[in-house]
Amino acid sequence: MSQQQWNSVDDYFTHLLAPADEALAAALRDSDTAGLPKIAVSPNQGKLLQLLARTQGARRILEIGTLGGYSTIWLARALPSDGRLITLEHKREHADVARANLARAGLDKLTEVRVGPALDSLAALGAEHAAHPAPFDLVFIDADKANNPHYVEWSLKLTRPGSLIVLDNVVRGGAVTDAADPDPHVRGTRAALELMAEHPRLEATAIQTVGTKGYDGFALARLRD
């Protein structure tokens, strides 16, 4: 199949099962206007995240990598009225766009955008969790790929038995199969997948996908009971 065919199928699925509303459309539009990279999840991927969160009965969600808040909107809409989503963004200008998008979607009371290197923000969350345990029910990792194994390790510290960890962009256009590839994005992704495979507290799988995002995929891991 060609990229055009993948796009057509994604368009069909999106219009049928994950149609846009004004808040989602505006989030993408304002992200484009602000010059953010066009790397947000696709609508049907966003809907999948929302369904995973709802199936999980998630009350607390952690997102590592905010960008303009498009995926954040999908996830936060799965929360109950007293739920909480914390999302981590390295760049302040991206965080500003995300906060505005979340406020327009009516989700600013449920969400918190923290700015800074994600590993620093995770260390702060770890200290908060140690003082007042509040594990996350779902973690979505979609940040710099070189640090993926560190993000998985922190996710293990901040979750509970039964929590889900979703790791995005794991196929790398097929390069993930090449153990000799020097690309830090590939190396970080492979290390994270190997951690998921070997860690005694995790059971995991990974799925290849095609569509508007090209040839890609995600990994899904559950903390054992």
Domain spans of the chain? 3-223
- Indicate whether 108 pLDDT > 80: yes
How would you label 132-168 residue by residue, b for 16+ Cβ within 10 Å and e otherwise?
eeebbbbbbbbbbbebbbbbbebbbebbeeebbbbbb
Which residue do the tokens 């800074």 mark? 116
Within 10 Å of residue 209's Cβ, how many Cβ atoms?
18
**pLDDT-derived band at 222, boundaries 50, 70, 90:** very high
Environment class of residue 173 by beta-carbon count within 10 Å: exposed (0-12), middle (13-18) or buried (19+)? Answer: exposed
**pLDDT-derived band at 2, boundaries 50, 70, 90:** confident
Q: Express each pLDDT in 171-205 by its tens digit.
A: 999 999 999 999 999 999 999 999 999 999 999 99
Cross-strand bridge partners of residue 220: 166, 205
pLDDT at 185 (0 to 100): 98
Q: Choose among 121, 186, 132, 187: nearest CA to 154.
A: 121
CB 204 within 8 A of CB 222: yes
Q: Express each pLDDT in 10-42 by its tens digit.
A: 999 999 999 989 999 999 999 999 999 999 999
Average confidence (pLDDT) over 128-140: 97
The two three-digit tokens of residue 27, written as one number: 């989030």
CATH architecture of 3-223: 3-Layer(aba) Sandwich (3.40)
Average confidence (pLDDT) over 83-107: 98
CB 167 within 8 A of CB 192: yes
Report the percent of the chain where pLDDT is more than 90: 98
Q: CA-to-CA distance for 112 and 107, rounded, in angstroms?
A: 9
- Indicate whether 1 pLDDT > 90: no
Average confidence (pLDDT) over 150-163: 98
Q: Residue ranges of the alpha helices (H) in the chain?
A: 3-17, 22-33, 43-56, 70-76, 92-104, 118-131, 148-157, 184-198
pLDDT at 75 (0 to 100): 98
pLDDT at 176 (0 to 100): 98
- Indicate whether 87 pLDDT > 80: yes
Q: CA-to-CA distance for 184 and 144, rounded, in angstroms?
A: 9
| Element (DSSP H or E) covering residue 211 | strand 202-211
How much is the mean pLDDT over the chain? 97
